[in-house]
Chains A and B, each alone.
Chain A
């Protein structure tokens, strides 16, 4: 099972400057856990002590914001694209 995760610039120092990485998992929580196994330290940047997404972290699955789906429990499957994006502000 392979999911492509886009890594934003502020986190690339943890992923050896890779802007996309491959991980496995059945939902966003598992994807984050797996990311942390491969790139230690990344989980605490994305989630608080309870495992909830930090308030300025956006995660999209195939372009859809997980906060409007099942948040960290949002399911993912093989071939899905997950994007981690800092909160965007308007023009």
Chain B
């Protein structure tokens, strides 16, 4: 790529522009910073044919990802299967259903490889030597593995009582694991307070404007794999809310640059009963999301401390899923040969 297609970081609150450094919030109102793209230029170069001529990875959409040059980390990440699940559709009484199976992502079998690839590619462009993250497991594994492959030093900060199996998965890559006495929210807050102090790149803190954009690649792939169209309904597990909002953004970006026709679509968020702060906030008509410090669910989600995010703009809406129903759905997915670790899609029309 000769000239980057993103020129700066832009505050989502006030629109102020910032240089493309390791910063994540606006100095004036603390609004989150987001990559600002030149869509007109992208529209003039990025075609379906060009995308299809490239390697089957998330980087085939590189013009819409926030790096200056060629990607250097996680070149094999993405382009995971979109599985048409006919038996599942029949079991659920819907016409057509697909499951985006990111459990086969490379190298750590989760969608975190997407976001980490972008964050670390950008970290290398910024000359950072050490990367880090706050995590409850999957992100730690991905940072550890991709940093090792990229020759970067890494630290992962986790709640001290995290399951040993998850800790071991990170340790095998040679990362430094730091256990913090506290819940994930507290670990995350600590990282936010120390980001910048040591000159490290925290992928989900000061590298977040780059990191978060990696999630868009899942939306890009879904549209391409469906034959360049947007599914009527997309159901996404909520987690931190970032994946949902970025899939939504991906759909709008493809419309904007003319790669898919404009159509009506809805992105739904799902949260497990026992850890559904966003769903509860929505139902009570508030945008103040109260963390649930002691989640009680078989899902293993994050007890969100998100506040008033773009999630509210994504449309109707978040549903809670009880543990018993979740087990029943898992059985249905097994019967359909689709066993997603992270996503269950429950549409009425064509959906993902």
Chain A residue nearest to B309 in the complex (CB): A89
Chain A residue nearest to B134 in the complex (CB): A91
In residues 1-59 of chain A, which contact B (Cβ within 8 Å)?
Answer: 6, 8-11, 13, 19, 44-45, 54-58
User: Are B302's CB and A10's CB within 8 A?
Assistant: no
In residues 1-55 of chain B, which contact A (Cβ within 8 Å)?
Answer: 13, 23-32
User: Are B31's CB and A10's CB within 8 A?
Assistant: no
User: Are B204's CB and A89's CB within 8 A?
Assistant: yes
B189 contacts partner chain A, Cβ-Cβ < 8 Å = yes
User: Are A55's CB and B307's CB within 8 A?
Assistant: yes
User: Are A86's CB and B302's CB within 8 A?
Assistant: no
B73 contacts partner chain A, Cβ-Cβ < 8 Å = no
User: Are A89's CB and B27's CB within 8 A?
Assistant: no
User: Are A90's CB and B30's CB within 8 A?
Assistant: no
Q: Given A83-B193, A86-B24, A89-B240, is A54 in contact with B134 using a C-beta cutoff of 8 Å? A: no
Cα(A33)–Cα(B30), bound, Å: 18
Q: Given A8-B193, A55-B308, A68-B290, is A89 in contact with B208 using a C-beta cutoff of 8 Å? A: yes
Q: How near does chain A come to B36, taking the closest CB pair, in angstroms?
A: 18
Q: Given A10-B30, A11-B27, A56-B30, is A89 in contact with B306 using a C-beta cutoff of 8 Å? A: yes
Chain B residue nearest to A19 in the complex (CB): B197
Cα(A60)–Cα(B192), bound, Å: 13
List B contacts of A60 (CB < 8 A).
189
Cα(A55)–Cα(B12), bound, Å: 12
List B contacts of A68 (CB < 8 A).
290
User: Are B31's CB and A91's CB within 8 A?
Assistant: no
User: Are A88's CB and B288's CB within 8 A?
Assistant: no
Q: How near does chain A come to B287, taking the closest CB pair, in angstroms?
A: 9
List B contacts of A91 (CB < 8 A).
112, 133-136, 138-139, 184, 188, 204, 240, 302
Contact pick for A56, options B135, B136, B307, CB 8 Å: B307
Cα(A63)–Cα(B180), bound, Å: 14
Contact pick for B32, options A54, A67, A89, A90, CB 8 Å: A89
User: Are B204's CB and A85's CB within 8 A?
Assistant: no
Q: How near does chain A come to B220, taking the closest CB pair, in angstroms?
A: 21
List B contacts of A19 (CB < 8 A).
197
Cα(A86)–Cα(B305), bound, Å: 12
Give the one of A57, A60, A63, A88 with max B CB within 10 A: A88
Q: Mark B163-193, 1 if CB is under 8 A from A, else 0.
A: 0000000000000000000001110110111
List B contacts of A87 (CB < 8 A).
25, 30, 32, 306-307
Chain A residue nearest to B240 in the complex (CB): A90
Q: Given A6-B193, A90-B242, A91-B135, is A45 in contact with B305 using a C-beta cutoff of 8 Å? A: no
Q: How near does chain A come to B198, taking the closest CB pair, in angstroms?
A: 12
B347 contacts partner chain A, Cβ-Cβ < 8 Å = no
Chain A residue nearest to B203 in the complex (CB): A91
List A contacts of B208 (CB < 8 A).
89
Cα(A10)–Cα(B32), bound, Å: 12
Cα(A41)–Cα(B14), bound, Å: 17
B304 contacts partner chain A, Cβ-Cβ < 8 Å = yes
Give the one of A8, A85, A86 with max B CB within 10 A: A86
In residues 231-255 of chain B, which contact A (Cβ within 8 Å)?
Answer: 239-242
B151 contacts partner chain A, Cβ-Cβ < 8 Å = no
Cα(A56)–Cα(B31), bound, Å: 6
Cα(A10)–Cα(B22), bound, Å: 12
User: Are A88's CB and B196's CB within 8 A?
Assistant: no
Cα(A11)–Cα(B55), bound, Å: 43
B195 contacts partner chain A, Cβ-Cβ < 8 Å = yes
User: Are B193's CB and A85's CB within 8 A?
Assistant: yes
Q: Given A87-B307, A90-B204, A90-B240, is A10 in contact with B27 using a C-beta cutoff of 8 Å? A: yes
Residues of A within 8 A of B (CB): 6, 8-11, 13, 19, 44-45, 54-58, 60, 63, 65, 67-68, 83, 85-91
